[in-house]
Structure 1
Amino acid sequence: MSNEIEIGRGKRGRRAYALDDIAVVPVRRTRDPEDVSINWQIDAFKFDMPVIGAPMDSVMSPDTAIALGQLGGMGVLNLEGLWTRYEDPSSVLEEIASFEPSNYSPANTRRLQEIYSQPIQAELITERLAQIREAGVVVAGSLTPQHTQEYYETVLAAGVDMFVIRGTTVSAEHVSQNRVPLDLKKFIYELDVPVIVGGAAGYTPALHLMRTGAAGVLVGFGGGASSTTRRALGIRVPMATAISDIAEARRDYMDESGGRYVHVIADGGVGNSGDIVKALAMGADAVMLGAALARAQEAPGRGWHWGGEAAHGDMPRGDRTHVGTVGSLNDVLWGPSHHTNGTSNLMGALKRAMATSGYSDIKEFQKVEVLVAPTGDR
């Protein structure tokens, strides 16, 4: 049975749903939240919560990556960001936070482009990752596909535990007439560390990424609150549908590969605790958080949030968004909460939702019943 609808006489398309369109149905027995486990494991690495800090300069510094690791998650440092371009980026972070409070500001964008035009310094990649390693937490760094071949040897030599290849959209087969593209399958096969790659937003591209040997696939286009990819490029797949499609690709790949499990990680548009609950209910194993962690007092963005897309030299497609500050990183993740809008005690809310629905761990919770409940129907 097809769920395509007619858009016009010459085009049909599937109906897709955002996380806001989905509601979790508590139909089983209830549990005590204290009895619920939200532990997560990818490859050999175990975590107390299914949270990855997005590799964005407003979210993750070496210090916040360490703090997130100590709280039970995994922070990913942007290895093309300010910490690898400046010996001490505090002054430019302060400057970005003091920009005029306006979206679509050509002056703000121009200055961001200037700030990010400073060259990446390989020695700073080594220094920043060493700082995280010395703290005894999982060391994870991120590069875009465009820079992976140039810097991955530096990253591996620095002792990274988890390597993230993250772009607006990443495919297993990039075609170019002007340069030799990154061969993901060959690249991942030759590495000695697990690789998380994305974004992907559909069944087929995700299945191809899984076939490269990736340990995890990022679902979405990243950037969430700060990305304007939809406006600039017309590209968007609502997250609930994207996660469900890629969870199905994971199941089919398990059958195809004889049981190899690839983790599905929701990346982008997961801004509050309810979004986290629904992302896992749709089949995600973990979430990559940007804006949600940018609200922490320790976040380097000082209450502002932006992604690397905002500083792209030719096609900037991101805003510097004001997300405010709601408390310490510990308060944001574990509480106590003093906010009723799902911006703090994110893990407490997740455990309570799972307990209310009667599920004891994340793998079980992925089977929870959901309803389509568009925002306008509430």
Structure 2
Amino acid sequence: MRGVQKVPRNFKELKPAYGFDDVSIAPGDITINPEMADLTTNFDGIKLEVPFLAAAMDAVVDPKFAIEMSRAGGLAVMNMDGLHTRYEDTTPIYEEIAAAPREEATVILQKIYSEPQKPELIATRVEEVKRGGGTAAVSFVPQNAKRMAPLAVEAGADMIVVQATVVTARHSSKSLKGLVFSELIKEIDVPILVGNTVSYEVTKELMQQGIHGVLVGVGPGSVCTSREVLGIGIPQVSATIECAAARDDFYKETGKYIPIITDGGIRTGGDVCKSFAAGANAVMIGSPFAKCEEAPAHGYHWGMATWHSSLPRGTRIKMGTEYSLHQLLYGPSSRTDGTLNLVGALQICMGYVGAENLREMNKARMVYAPAVKTEGKIYQAAGLGS
């Protein structure tokens, strides 16, 4: 129309992002026997026979579980900001949490976690794991890492994990001097993993600081409600692809290969396989491990932000105790839902893709396929599966 001037508009761009249920892995042009698939992964000299990490959550990991996970070939990360540094004997605490009425659970968790931390218990927990022959990996929130990580290393810790809901290489605060990862790395001589993030830029900046691994994922965990309460997060497949691109570019520029770990939202062997196809070097899992006989919380699980004094962002869930750690990782499985024998699922998938190791698995072709779980499944949809 003449005389009408077009007004430029600057619309916010919304890009699609994909989770595990949105994608599928394409079979490879060649196949290999599953037993040929090498599942080992390495964090600056710490070699894992299977690329599975148990999440740094009190309901999942205590010293005994950490020892058993090491024996199984993986790694369990023990939280040093939770129960294990607040109570010398955690057994009655776990029992109190399990016995709490549902409507009172969050309040009781807040009360339990209001107990002051006791830094001297850091060495106690590390030594318990080491005495049992386990690899001692411990986690701290950023505000505690600078002060407490050296205590853990002095006691014999093999790995430090610095973890929060969202971590950046540059954090601004009016109240305290932020943690500088390059400075922390100079102070301790064990691998440092840092998370969580979902972006290319942050992943690359963290790697430039000299850290040894990046945890990927904001809010996908089954007992995490950060996405509902705070509205933040990116689905795990897209997040992993983006962070893997940063890792690969950093490797091309520096010759240093820094692994990334897809952390959260993983329920089945299919989710595990999709994590590696998206670019992961390892996966960190919480809820499935909480259901293990070896887990300390009697079949309950809760998010580590549940007890936050001003804004609880998690919930206690009764998961039940359903299987052993060995069954979860290695089977045998009597289920058809993919929730057991996660190691076997990964090996078989790598066989179909033709990937002899995890870095080859990272190259697997993926497709957007929202119908992949329902196509042709008329009998399962009708509830006729056994």
Offset of residue 192 of structure 1: 0.9
**CA distance in 2: counterparts of 1:222 and 1:157, whole angstroms:** 33
Return the TM-score normalized by structure 1: 0.93
RMSD: 1.6
SS of the residue 2:193 aligns to: strand
Deviations 1:106-153 (A, max 9, x none): x32111110111111122111110011112232110000021123122
> In the superposition, relative to structure 1, how do residues 222 and 233 fare at CA in structure 2: closer, same or farther (>3 Å)?
closer
Residue 288 of structure 1 pairs with residue 284 of structure 2? yes
**Could you say which residue in structure 2 is the equivalent of 1:154?**
151
> In the superposition, relative to structure 1, how do residues 97 and 9 fare at CA in structure 2: closer, same or farther (>3 Å)?
farther
**Could you say which residue in structure 1 is the equivalent of 2:213?**
216
**Could you say which residue in structure 1 is the equivalent of 2:309?**
313
> In the superposition, relative to structure 1, how do residues 100 and 338 fare at CA in structure 2: closer, same or farther (>3 Å)?
farther
Q: For 1:17-166, list aligned pairs within 5 A.
A: 17-101=18-102, 105=103, 107-166=104-163
Aligned-partner residue type, residue 151 of structure 1:
M
Residue 269 of structure 1 pairs with residue 262 of structure 2? no
**CA distance in 2: counterparts of 1:189 and 1:76, whole angstroms:** 22
Contact 2:100/2:108, CA 8 A, preserved across alignment: no
233-242 or 152-161, which deviates more: 152-161
**Bigger Rg, which one:** 2
Return the TM-score normalized by structure 2: 0.91
Offset of residue 263 of structure 1: 0.5
Residue 333 of structure 1 pairs with residue 329 of structure 2? yes
SS of the residue 1:260 aligns to: coil
**CA distance in 2: counterparts of 1:326 and 1:108, whole angstroms:** 22
**CA distance in 1: counterparts of 2:345 and 2:115, whole angstroms:** 41
**CA distance in 2: counterparts of 1:213 and 1:192, whole angstroms:** 12
Structure 1: gaps of 5 or more residues: 1-7
Offset of residue 348 of structure 1: 0.9
Contact 1:53/1:289, CA 8 A, preserved across alignment: yes
Offset of residue 223 of structure 1: 6.6
**Could you say which residue in structure 2 is the equivalent of 1:228?**
225
Quote the sequence identity (%): 39
**CA distance in 1: counterparts of 2:144 and 2:267, whole angstroms:** 28
Contact 2:220/2:236, CA 8 A, preserved across alignment: no
Deviations 1:242-293 (A, max 9, x none): 0000000011111222x11110100111122111110000000000111121
Aligned-partner residue type, residue 30 of structure 1:
T
2:183 to 176, 183, 186: 186
**CA distance in 2: counterparts of 1:307 and 1:150, whole angstroms:** 24
Aligned-partner residue type, residue 310 of structure 1:
T
**Could you say which residue in structure 1 is the equivalent of 2:318?**
322
**Could you say which residue in structure 2 is the equivalent of 1:3?**
none
Contact 1:210/1:253, CA 8 A, preserved across alignment: yes
Aligned-partner residue type, residue 141 of structure 1:
V
**CA distance in 2: counterparts of 1:135 and 1:277, whole angstroms:** 31
> In the superposition, relative to structure 1, how do residues 128 and 297 fare at CA in structure 2: closer, same or farther (>3 Å)?
same
Offset of residue 52 of structure 1: 0.9
Contact 2:66/2:135, CA 8 A, preserved across alignment: no
2:364 to 346, 368, 372: 368
Offset of residue 47 of structure 1: 1.3
Aligned-partner residue type, residue 174 of structure 2:
Q
Residue 200 of structure 1 pairs with residue 200 of structure 2? no
Offset of residue 58 of structure 1: 0.8
Aligned-partner residue type, residue 336 of structure 2:
T
Offset of residue 9 of structure 1: 7.5
SS of the residue 2:125 aligns to: helix
Segments of 4+ moved more than 6 angstroms: none
Aligned residues: 366
**CA distance in 2: counterparts of 1:291 and 1:278, whole angstroms:** 18
Contact 1:19/1:239, CA 8 A, preserved across alignment: yes
SS of the residue 1:244 aligns to: helix
**Could you say which residue in structure 1 is the equivalent of 2:297?**
301
**CA distance in 2: counterparts of 1:320 and 1:234, whole angstroms:** 20
Offset of residue 325 of structure 1: 2.6
**CA distance in 2: counterparts of 1:372 and 1:53, whole angstroms:** 29
